[in-house]
Amino acid sequence: MKLYTYFRSGAAFRVRIALNLKGIGYEPVFVHLAKGEHRASEYARVNPQALVPTLVLDDGTRLNQSLAIIEYLDEKYPQTPLLPKEPLGKARVRSLSGLIASEIHPLNNLRVLQHLKRALGQTQEQIDAWYRHWIADGLAKLEAELSSKNKCCFGDTPTLADCCLVPQIFGAKRYNSDLSPYPIATRVFEHCMKLDAFDRAQPSKQPDAE
């Protein structure tokens, strides 16, 4: 299995965690987003969406979109399940994941920040404020959904939702977001980061880290 990845991509980070949690080995292929390598015609043949991650199965089949990839892995490799068995639990985990993946992350990814700079003429300070605004907006919603009784986003073992939360908190820290209003999310983050699968997936431990 090959994973097209970039150390700082939150979406690739999610899939790295899931692969680690399931104990699936993979060969990383590095796509330098900041240098625009994802927009090269060569990569368009790998992923027409021009985004990382892409997971290439051993038979050459290519999968993209991080949540779709993780759901696929969870079906094919049932060890260390990342979704509860019962439909209501699944809906809950998918909702928390969707909240991060559809309400926070898309507003703060690299191409949006670049667009704010290039097309809207925003300064770095204004871009940082934009980033923190959507982190605060989204994490407040997430915090309202989490229970302080759980070690993870749902129950005490990692799910798809934790694969989404941890990279998002990494982004928030990088932009110096104030995390004090989100004690439950912060505690879940700290719990997960003590687990080897999360720790090994973090940006600074990737071979392409700068």
Site residues (vs a copy of itself, CB under 8 A): 44, 48-51, 61, 63-69, 71-72, 75-76, 87-88, 90-92, 94-95, 97-99, 101-103, 105-107, 111-112, 115, 119-120, 122, 126, 130, 133, 137, 141, 144-145
Least distance to a copy of itself from the beta carbon of 199, Å? 26
CB of 28 to a copy of itself, least distance (A): 20
Residue 123 contacts by C-beta under 8 Å, 6 or more apart in sequence?
none
Q: Which is nearer to a copy of itself, 25 or 87 (CB)?
A: 87
Question: Which residue, 98 or 155, is less far from a copy of itself as judged by CB?
Answer: 98
Q: How far is the CB of 167 from a copy of itself (least distance, A)?
A: 13
Q: How far is the CB of 153 from a copy of itself (least distance, A)?
A: 13
The DSSP-derived string for the chain is: -EEEE-TT-HHHHHHHHHHHHHT---EEEE--TTTTGGGSHHHHHH-TT--S-EEE-TTS-EEESHHHHHHHHHHH--SS-SS-SSHHHHHHHHHHHHIIIIIIGGGGSHHHHHHHHHTT---HHHHHHHHHHHHHHHHHHHHHH--TT-SSSSTTS--HHHHHHHHHHHHHHHTT---TT-HHHHHHHHHHHTSHHHHHHSGGGSTT--
Give the shortest CB-162-to-a copy of itself separation in angstroms. Answer: 16
Q: Which is nearer to a copy of itself, 164 or 201 (CB)?
A: 164
Joined tokens for residue 98: 């969707």
Question: Given the complex with a copy of itself, which of 134 and 195 has the nearer CB atom?
Answer: 134
CB of 190 to a copy of itself, least distance (A): 22
Please say which residue, 139 or 195, places its beta carbon nearer to a copy of itself: 139
Q: Which amino acid is at 112?
A: V
What is the rounded CA–CA span in Å between residue 188 and residue 153? 7
